[in-house]
Each structure stands twice: as C-alpha cells, then as structure tokens.
Amino acid sequence: MEVELEYLIQNFQGFTSKMAKIILPLTSKQVKEAKPTLRAYKLYDGAGLILTVYPSGKKVWRLDYKDLNKKRKTYTIGDAQHISLSDARKKRDELKGILENHQSISKKDIMTFGQVFYEWFDKWKLLVVESTAKRALSSMKKDCFPVIENMDITKIKPKNIVAALSPIDERGSGETLEKTKSALKLTFDYAVARGICDMNPVLAVTASAFTAHETKHHRALDASKIYMLHDFFMSNRNSIIVRKCTEFTLRTMCRINESVCATWDEIDGNTWTIPAERMKERRPHIVHLTKQSMSIIEEMKKFKSSKYIFQNDHLNHHIHKDTPNTAINRYGIDSTVHGLRSLASTVLNGTCLFDKDLVEMCLSHKDKDAVRAAYNRALYLEQRKEILIFWSDFIDMCDTEENNIKTLEKFKLIQLNDD
C-alpha cells in the first residue's frame, strides 16, 4: 500500500510539473492592464513571444529563440504601446518562419523604418497637440507601414517613399498626403542626425510624383450671413450645449478643439486660460471672456456634472469636435466652425480699427518673428480684450438680416459681400 501511494505521488508530481509548462495565450486586456512593479517581469504568450514589463511602465515585445548554433537568444520586436498583441504575434510567426528556413534573424546594427519612426514619434508627440500626433500615427500605420515598416532604413529609396504615399494619393487626400510626407521627412531627418542613415530620401520626392490636388480651405461664412448664426443659436433643432459651444467658439475666436475640451478649472473670473498642451502652437493662450461669453458659461453651470463645460448627451465627457460643424451645416449655414475664425479675421481687419498683429494674437496664430513672438506672448491683454468686446458686440448688431446689412454699411464693410 505504501509503495502504491509513493508511486501515485511521484506520478502526480510529474503530471503537475508538465502542467506548469503549459502557457495560456495572453489577452489584449492582460497586456493593457499589466502594471509595473519594483522589478521587471515577463508575461508569456507562447511560441517564444514574451512581453517584458519594466518598472517605468514601458512594455516591450520580444521573441525568445535558438539561433542556427542552437544558442538561446532574444529578438526585440518593439514597444507594446505601438505594437498590438495581434501584430506582435504576426511578427513572431514571420521570424519563426525565417528561422525554420535556417536563416539568421539577428538585426546586428540594422534598424527598420518602423523602429526609427517610433523612436522619433515618442519624442515628437510631446511637441504637438494630441490630435495631430494621432492623425500622423494613424496615417503612417494605414498607408506607409505596409510598404516600408520592416525595411532596413538605410535601404529605403525615393521610389519606396512614393510607393508608401501612393494609397493616400489615390484617395485624393492631398492634405493628408502632405502631412504624412512631412512626418516621413522628419523621421529621416532624425535618423540622419542620429547617424542611423546618411541621406533623407523624402527630399528627392517632389510634388510631380503625385496627382495635383486642389487645396481645400475651411469655408468662411459670408459676412452678410451672420444673422443666420443668431437664428441657429435661438433654434431648438440641436441641443443647447451644442449651440452654446458653437456660439462660445465664435465669440472667443478660438479653435473648436479648444472649445469642446474647455474645463471648469480653466476659467478664472472672466478669463479663460487654455493650457499649452491643448494649443496648436504649444503655448498657453489667455482669452478675455466678454459679458456674452460669461453668460454662456453661467448657463452651462446648469448642466455641470463633469470637468468639461460643454458636455455630451451622457454628461460625462465633452461633445465631439465635429458635432457643431454637423449642426450648422444641417441648419443651412454654408461654413465650418473653423471658418468662423476666418470670418472674425476678415471683419476685424476690414474695419481698420485694430492692429492686424493684435488680431492675429486673438486668433492665437504663430508670429513668424520668433523673437517678437517670445516678447509678445503675454502682452497686449487689454488691447485683445477690446477686440473681443468689439467682436461680440458686432455679432449682436447683426441679429437680423436687415441689421446685418446696416452693420456692414456702418463699418464700411459692405464690400466684403461683393466677392
């Protein structure tokens, strides 16, 4: 009986030892929720794929394998922030296929375009607004990566850049093409500066390589149609929050991204300070809130249930930046919310009452003179206040079609409608 019991124990221990070697595949949720600890640790997905989680919070995919000499080695696939679980598995399978063909996968000093891009991108994204970084990354992954992501960056030629940008060209997205090409150029500029490669192939790719696309500008509302905005603000066809957000954007002359994301803690009395990370030019922007703008703020307090001033229907986040555009277009107003900034610029410069540089500062446009821009950053708040007060009062003067025309005539702006 004792011999039989000892036999069963030994077999059970052998069974559990084998069981311990079984690796359950990871889930995307596990990868996302893996928390850093005091020491780096590993999560195993199977077939050699490993996720290493560092104390800093960085997560890196690696492949554990045996080389042609049967020596244990590790191949770094890349940062899990940019490479999904499914993509890491595809890369693992690709590498194992190379190994099965008795070929080496050692990278030595070779760096792929994808590796260099993410190295550059992680630094560049800190200098631009989040939406700009997201668009650049999305376009790169969708259109360029299928062509050049895994290429040795030193072997990429102008023809490869053209091939990577061709899908965008074929869609007729001229603006996206230019921005993606710019991201490619900056990546190679970074690589050249770091000594990773000797030339920037993007510099040899001229506009003649692509279809000529007409540049699309944000539609500006005709000055004689300002009264239509009043009709929209007073209508009941859209939620009051969407209408008030649109009006707030118009009166403050800010970008729609800045308005929809406005939070209560950014308001101090009748001053709205937009933090640098939300500004296109990456510097804080101070806006005087006129009595009309303050009235909007007071009305929004009725709905206050989150940190955002202009909340969505669930009152737990801000409204989407495209919602005001959709609303005014459905109302029959031929403009974009961003185009209302062009309207403000046209009217204010047309009156000749204000210095054009001050108008540009109200619009938070970047001063081409870097020295002057640094000096003027926090200056002229009183003058900008006068401009915003005039602009809000001007909007109120155009409350009907008849008053709209009279106001244009009063400030000798009627010629704005002769284009």
pLDDT tens, residue order, the chain (419 aa): 444 444 343 444 444 444 445 778 889 999 999 999 888 899 999 888 999 998 888 888 888 888 777 788 888 887 888 888 998 898 888 888 888 877 777 655 568 899 899 989 988 888 777 778 888 999 999 999 999 988 889 899 999 999 999 998 888 888 888 889 999 999 999 988 888 888 999 999 988 878 765 545 557 899 999 999 999 999 988 889 999 999 999 999 999 999 999 999 999 999 999 998 888 777 889 999 999 999 999 999 998 889 999 998 777 789 988 899 989 988 989 898 989 999 999 999 999 999 998 999 999 876 555 434 444 545 588 899 999 999 999 999 999 999 999 999 999 997 654 44
* Model confidence pLDDT, tens digit, residues 101-120: 777 776 555 688 998 999 89
Scanning 125-157, the segments in alpha helix (DSSP H) are 130-139, 145-148
Q: 274 in helix, strand or coil?
A: strand
**Cα four-point dihedral sign 331, 335, 337, 343:** negative
Q: Residue 278 in contact with residue 323, Cβ under 8 Å?
A: no
Other residues' Cβ atoms within 10 Å of the Cβ of residue 164:
25
Give yes or no for a contact between 172 and 105, defined as CB atoms under 8 angstroms apart. no
Report yes or no: 387 and 287 within 8 Å, Cβ to Cβ. no
Number of H helices, E strands in the chain: 18, 7
Output the pTM of the full model: 0.55
Q: How far apart are CA 391 and CA 252, in angstroms?
A: 9
Walk across the sheet containing 41-46 and list its strands: 41-46, 49-53, 59-66, 72-79
Task: Please give the domain boundaries of the chain with CATH numbers for all domains.
Answer: 21-100 (3.30.160.390), 113-209 (1.10.150.130), 223-417 (1.10.443.10)
Alpha-carbon distance 147 to 125, whole Å?
23
60 and 76 Cβ atoms separated by less than 8 Å: yes
The Cα–Cα gap between 196 and 190 comes to 9
Secondary structure (3-state) at 405: helix
**SS3 (DSSP) at 288:** strand
Rounded CA separation 121/78 (Å): 13
What is the DSSP pairing of strand 41-46 with strand 267-268?
unpaired
Q: Is 211 exposed, middle or buried (0-12, 13-18, 19+ CB in 10 A)?
A: exposed
